Amino acid sequence: MSVRTRFAPSPSGHLHVGGARSALFCWAYAANHDGTLLLRIEDTDQKRSSDAASRGFLEDLAWLGLDWDEGPQWHGRGGGDTGPYEQSNRLDIYEKYLAQLIDSGHAYRAFETPEELAEARRAARQEKRAYRYDRAALDLDPDTVAAWVAQGRPFVVRFKVPGDAPIVIQDAVLGEVRVEPGELEDFIIRKADGFPTYHLAVVVDDQLMGVTHVIRGQEHLANSPKHALLQDALGFDRPIWAHVSLIFNPDGSKMSKRDKDKALRAEVRSKGIENPPEGAGIEADRWQAWLGDKTMQLETEEATRLAGLLGIQLPAINVDDFRRSGYLPEVLLNYLALLGWSPGGDREQFDLAFIRENFSLDRIVKSPAKFDRAKLLAFNLDAIQAMDDDQFVVRLQAFCQDFEPAFLEAMTTHQFKVFALANKARSKTFLDPIESGRFFVQGDDEIEWPLTKPLRKALCKGEPCGFDRLTAVRDILAEADSWTPEHLETILTTWAETHCEGNLGKVAQPIRVAVSGGSVSPPIFDTLEILGKDATLTRIDRCLSQRESMQESST
């Protein structure tokens, strides 16, 4: 039988790194076995599902290069015979199996309200008892049930957990996992709104879609016995389960899609903000609901705006966060693969083709892993350094198109190419050249020279000082008849030979400061070429015009 794996996210925001890793493992296992990867959208929660969110997932997966064979159709991906692949479009299917379970006595209707259940849970907690549903609905006589249903009284359907034998499941990563009878309560398989719960939908869909291997995060481990029970009751096959360990934050907590909201709530509380800040675009009642419900998530845009207003940095947990931060998809994938899996031996850097060739479930690590940004960054640097020049230019260009169009608008194609290549050796991410190169796209009159320590050192200190050298070299540059890096190098090194004892830095640094307003830039000759002669001279002149006031305040 051919291998069929599935990645089944719920569409509640962007794809987070844990989900991305599950998707990668599903992809890799299927690819390694010439099997099929299915994508299924688990949107049975009417309160939390939105179309925009599920498209975000698709885009994230596509960016990573994790293409699905079957699933929602999107830019040439997806399709297939076992759809529909959105659970909200499969309600009639679940109804059929629900009826089967009720008819066969494996499930029953229950009429307690959510409030009643919450109260029962609270009471159990107070008495330090483990709460389990008391099966009161099982005592209802059939006529009463029929009458209540006929009246339209809301009900849920619960699965009647057999109490006789331990439930033993086999896991490809963890081995045998055993749960004693009586540990599980009669869990709900259909909600009052008519939608199935996750448990029922997953079991039915996995069977109907022919899924052979379920690779998912260990937070689902406790669900598997329930699914096994449902599968047995429905006469379904059990898939092979592989529960992958969790990904942690550096502080040891679980890396969660809710971390952004958590950070925002903490900040709001610590600042004692009671109402939604002006410009956050959040309604007052929605704000209150969000503050009071730690499972509720803001939309990405709302969260980003709010973080901006509060002046805090949101934790990077989504694939999209890393994309915007200038990481390469192949590096993120490489790093994610290493988090919880290892090909054995010393090899650490590899591509998707290598993963495809070498992936196996028995090399998945059981223990949880902390997400280490520093190592990811180091890998990204290595990948950028290994890239050939043309590719770097093209990919940086694409990055700017998506996130920093100002850099493309402000430069000619040639300037951008010089800019890119001048930055390649010093970039750890695509964002590095952008952040350190803002001065390239600023107007000449926007450059300012804050009196920081490195600026003071470059301009004011020493005898002669930077200003002196700048004044002298300004006219040399003005007379340059050619403005190429090579020619500039000749002029300036020659000048440094006679005026700075051959120490190019003595003159390069003051120029760098004058044209950039900071102490950091690409190699100086490239920098000047990108700026061009006019901008260079204008900026030097403006800088020199500040000489007096800077020297005054520096003494």
Partner RNA sequence: GACCCCAUCGUCUAGUCAGGUCUAGGACAUCAGGUUUUCAUCCUGGGAACAGGGGUUCGAAUCCCCUUGGGGUCGCCA
Q: Considering only residues 382 through 441, tell me which ones interact with RNA, judged by CB under 7 A.
A: 382, 385, 425-428, 436
Question: Which one among 239, 525, 543, 550 touches RNA, defined by CB under 7 A?
Answer: 525
**Is 522 one of the binding residues for RNA (CB under 7 A)?**
yes
Q: Restricting to residues 180-199, which ones interact with RNA according to CB under 7 A?
A: 180, 183, 188, 191-193, 195, 197-198
Which CB, 143 or 180, lies closer to RNA?
Answer: 180
Rounded CA separation 156/97 (Å): 15
CA distances from 238 to 169, 172, 219, 221, 329 (A): 9, 13, 19, 14, 34
Beta carbon nearer to RNA, 377 or 480: 377
Exactly one of 122, 269, 363, 461 binds RNA (CB under 7 A); that residue is: 363
**DSSP E strand boundaries for 294-358:** none
Q: Is 20 in the site for RNA (CB under 7 A)?
A: no
**Binders of RNA among 295-324, rule CB under 7 A?**
295
Shortest spacing between CB 213 and RNA, in angstroms: 18
219 is a site residue for RNA (CB under 7 A) = yes
Contact 408, 451 (CB under 8 A): no
Contact 255, 371 (CB under 8 A): yes
Question: How far is residue 448's CA from residue 529's CA, in Å, rounded to a whole number?
Answer: 20
Query: How near is the Cβ of 453 to RNA at its closest, in Å?
Result: 12
Nearest CB to RNA, comparing residues 178 and 271: 178
Under a CB-based contact definition with an 8 Å cutoff, are residues 256 and 249 in contact?
no
Interface residue with RNA, options 99, 123, 147, 222 (CB under 7 A): 222
Least CB distance from residue 504 to RNA, whole Å? 4
d(Cα 151, Cα 379) in Å, to the nearest integer? 63
Give residues 472-501 in contact with RNA (rule: CB under 7 A). Answer: none
Q: Looking at 65, 114, 279, 405, which residue binds RNA (CB under 7 A)?
A: 114
Q: Of 104, 505, 548, 554, which lies in the binding site for RNA, with binding defined by CB under 7 A?
A: 505
d(CA 427, CA 326): 10
CA dihedral 464, 467, 472, 474 (to 10 degrees): 160
| SS3 call for 277 | coil
Q: Hey, what are 441's tokens?
A: 């796209």
CB of 528 to RNA, least distance (A): 10
* Smallest separation (angstroms) from RNA to the CB of 4: 18
Coil vs helix vs strand at 169: strand
**Window 49-78: residues binding RNA (CB under 7 A):** none
Report how far residue 100's alpha carbon sits from residue 135's, in angstroms, rounded to the nearest whole number: 20
* Residue number, 117 or 240, with CB nearest to RNA: 117
Does residue number 96 form part of the binding site for RNA (CB under 7 A)?
A: no
Q: Does 462 bind RNA (CB under 7 A)?
A: no
Of 367, 437, 368, 372, the C-alpha closest to 407 is: 437
Cβ atoms of residues 451 and 417 within 8 Å: no
Whole-angstrom CA distances from 345 to 87, 341, 357, 367, 408 are 42, 12, 15, 18, 44
Q: Is the omega angle on the peptide bond into residue 225 within 30 degrees of 0, that is, cis?
A: no
User: Contact between 375 and RNA (CB under 7 A)?
Assistant: yes
Segment 139 to 158, residues that bind RNA, using CB under 7 A? 154, 156
With CB under 7 A as the contact rule, the residue among 130, 150, 165, 353 that binds RNA is: 130
Would you say 366 or 414 has its CB closer to RNA? 366
Quote the least distance from Cβ 76 to RNA, whole Å: 26
